[in-house]
Amino acid sequence: MRPRFPSPDHVARRRVAVLAAAVLAVSLSPLQASRPGGQAVGIAAQQPVYRAAEGGHASVAVVVTTSDGRPLTASASVRYATGSGTASAGADYPLTSGTLTFPAGSASGSARAFTLAATRDGAAETAETVPVSLHAAAGAAVTRQPVVIIDANGLPYLDPGLGVERRVADLLGRMSLDDKIGQMTQAERAAVAKDPALVARWRLGSVLSGGGSAPSPNTPAAWVQMVNTLQSYALSTPLQIPMIYGIDAVHGHGNVSGATIFPHNVGLGATRDPALVEDVYHATAAEVRATGIPWDFAPCLCVSRDERWGRAYESFAEDPALVARMATAVDGLQGPGRSRLAAPDGVLATAKHYAGDGDTEYGTGSGNYTIDQGVTVTGRADFARIDLTPYRAAVREHGVGSVMPSFSSVDWTEDGTGNPVKMHANRELITGVLKRDIGLDGFLVSDWEAIHQLPDPSAPAGEPKPTAGQVRAGVNAGTDMFMEPHTAPRFEQLLRDEVTAGRVSTARIDDAVRRILRAKFALGLFEHPYAPADRLGEVGSRAHRQLARRAAAQSQVLLKNRGHALPLRPDAHIYLAGRTADDIGNQAGGWTVDWQGRSGAAFAGTTILAGIREVAPQANVTFSADGSAPTGGADVGVVVVGETPYAEGLGDVGGPACGYCTPPQAEPKSLTLQPGDRAVVDKVCAAVPTCVVLLVSGRPQVITDQLGDIDALVASWLPGGEGAGVADVLFGRRPFTGRLPVTWPRSTGQVPINVGDPDYRPLFPYGWGLRTDPGRDRVAAAAGTRPAPAVAALLTAARWQPDRTLRPDAGTVDVARRALAAPGTPATVRDAVLSVLRDAAQARAEAGGAPPGWAALIADADHADTAGAPGRSGALLAEVIIG
């Protein structure tokens, strides 16, 4: 292979980058110059980077600060002068100099400005730098020097009137290898926060915040300022390719103080409401974009097949058909057809984790984890049916803009087990299936240091990661951008070496960069790279919190309701107990404030206790977290127990404890209640006539042996920050409508157990959920004032019992099935008819008269409905009702 020498254009661009990075390096050293009275004075550019369009100007602000915060005791002055950069004095800008004076008495933080003009020469060109030097008079110290960037202009990729593909092609043709590799690299904010000039020096295509990584103070305004500062450095490079900031906003903008916290996906799956899911993710997008971030690492479209997995709550369901329906989350983030990508309430979505996480086998987890980052042992047909289904929907029906591969591995049974392939190295599934067969035109971003886990037998023992072999394997498999939080420079150098050696082709590099640039153009980042600060009110807005409250209410699943214990009377005498009744951190779960969540956290929202007091102000409420206080003649006990927060890996059942979390979070993760929770349930249910138990958890908690003492049992999941939504259904302001998105096991020995299993005998089947609204009212409301004949026949009084539930006789069931099958029956009416059939089937099961396989019939009926076969769903429910 012939040696390659850099072109003059490449040399010039690299010189610009080196000079810009050097000029942009920020000194934050303490003030050293003393003034009369010991007052130290600092003078600094208000921001490190200023931009001027050709023919325009930049107003460069200089700020004075005092060590004691008091006004200047004596005047201070600073001389400014343009220096020598890549722009040419006289041709690109006039030599500029002068003096700014801050008179005695000027307040600390006062600013003065001077103007630098950019000459219009009409030539198309890349960005050029004009360094400005500040020299303070005696008694003051300069702490930050500015640079002015004369913007790139006249180049085709800068023309918004051209199509995206033409703009991408033009820009790609102008990029050096360093430019391209930089676009493929993503670093953590902590790696560049102290020296933002690294964004320019490394040519970073992206920066991210990991879980809990936030600016200080953690306010929406501080997030905007941080993102815009980093962006200013990205725009200081010759081609001015904007960086894209990414974050895990998986149930609201959980890293940001004051943001709305929605139920986790498992609760949203319980709502069976794709439109609600879209609304929730749209509100999340609005809050994320308001803080300057255009990219969300969500939604998780994994299919949770084993509740022992510590990320089970990030999944919408165990049924791939339901997960695929909930891919409307992508539309919520991006807008249908990516229509909101460039809007102030749209962000790029990320379908994760492709593919197979949630379906890994227990005991195969990575490191100390028992199941997370493990191995999916499966055949290709089952993998396509279970694990790939949601991703097909995300790409083909919703146009998801990015995908994140899984940490997990796949081991095909067709060629014998024992030879798993890590997903990040799986060219067959990334390039072959996802990009070619499914048709993804977006880009893939790796998970956190994921290629560091790839095997590299050629690497010497102890070699730092990533190794050359890991970089080569990851890039050649088809991943386009690499999350290298603290190893970005090493990744870039290794990839550069691999391309130079011919082990990674330039075609593969161009494919990756083309996909990344396509997303950046679609997001409008070239036209509007900076986030405005005028939408901060979106974060935690009243409208979003009301939506979160509704979502929390719809996510509640009523598993048992003996004697109509629920809803509660608004004037009930309530004994409220349980450690989660007044702990918003527990009810929000992981990925809230911190990566693993935080018990006892304080953030905007309402606890379940506060919600009860708000919804039922006439109720007499006694609260005792551990149930030690006297019950005081209460007529109903409400016990709120469940899990403490956790996230990936550390949430695995049987996995390692979190050594840096709050003490309650260090408890062993389990599918059964902790001893203290069990004791509170036993104590309250024995002492109070009516006992209601709410299980706040990310997965089912086996409670079979205590079920007989419980009158009403509610799967509350992780309802988020609006505990008032839970109270809404407890007191009947809203009916219980949720249904199980996962099977509720009878014992831990049944796990894993899923809809469609051959031996299916759970405590509560997939799709189970009791209702508290009258069935006939449901059908009548859906049918309207002029119901179709088949529906009108169902609504006749003879078909209903006095409590307005469906009569469970063969004739009535047949009428209901005819209403389902009638041509032109609206979907809302079919849903209502199926719901009353489900009510009747569940009532038969509770009464003990259902056929032996009733649980499988109910679960299969729910799957059939989700898969678009309401007639089959009705037939299966009919088998339960009439045998």
Whole-angstrom distance, CA of residue 875 vs CA of residue 883:
11
**341 CA to centre of own chain:** 16
Instruction: Specify the DSSP element, H or E, that contains 596.
Output: none
CB 774 within 8 A of CB 802: no
Nearest to 741 by CA among 406, 355, 337, 307: 307
With vertex at residue 22, the alpha carbon angle to CA 21 and CA 23, rounded to the nearest 5 degrees, is 95
Nearest to 554 by CA among 836, 275, 253: 275
Alpha helices in 452-583 (DSSP H): 468-477, 488-500, 506-522, 542-555
Q: Is 447 an active-site residue?
A: yes
Q: Which residue in the list 188, 447, 839, 860 is annotated as catalytic?
A: 447
CB 578 within 8 A of CB 640: yes
Q: Which residue has the tokens 């591969």?
A: 405
CB 739 within 8 A of CB 767: yes
- Give the number of other CB atoms < 10 A from CB of residue 99: 12
Nearest to 602 by CA among 592, 612, 590: 592
Q: For 655-675, give the secondary structure using H, E and C.
A: CCCCCCCCHHHHCCCCCECCH
Q: Is 648 an active-site residue?
A: yes
Pairing between β-strand 41-45 and β-strand 636-642 as defined by DSSP bridges: unpaired
Length of the chain: 883
Alpha helices in 203-340 (DSSP H): 220-234, 265-271, 274-290, 320-325, 328-334
Nearest to 62 by CA among 138, 132, 151, 149: 132
Pairing between β-strand 409-412 and β-strand 375-378 as defined by DSSP bridges: parallel
CB 310 within 8 A of CB 655: yes
- Give the number of other CB atoms < 10 A from CB of residue 827: 9
Residues 6+ apart with CB under 8 A from 326: 265, 268, 269, 274, 277, 299, 316, 317
Residues 6+ apart with CB under 8 A from 431: 477, 478
Whole-angstrom distance, CA of residue 306 vs CA of residue 319:
12
Pull the structure tokens for residue 248. 């895990």
Pairing between β-strand 244-247 and β-strand 206-209 as defined by DSSP bridges: parallel
CB 815 within 8 A of CB 754: no
Whole-angstrom distance, CA of residue 415 vs CA of residue 380:
11
Whole-angstrom distance, CA of residue 30 vs CA of residue 33:
9
Whole-angstrom distance, CA of residue 454 vs CA of residue 477:
12
CB 164 within 8 A of CB 341: no
Whole-angstrom distance, CA of residue 158 vs CA of residue 58:
20
User: Tell me, what DSSP letter sits at residue 261?
Assistant: B
Q: Which residue in the list 188, 273, 648, 839 is annotated as catalytic?
A: 648
Pull the structure tokens for residue 623. 């609260």
- Give the number of other CB atoms < 10 A from CB of residue 224: 22
- Residue 739, amino acid: R
With vertex at residue 172, the alpha carbon angle to CA 167 and CA 174, rounded to the nearest 5 degrees, is 105
Q: Annotate 755-783 with b (16+ C-beta within 10 A) or e (fewer).
A: beeeebbbbbbbbbbbbebbbbebbbebb
Nearest to 125 by CA among 159, 87, 152: 152
Bridge-partner residues for 770, per DSSP? 558
Residues 6+ apart with CB under 8 A from 366: 372, 373, 374, 407, 453, 649
Q: Which residues belong to the active site?
A: 447, 648
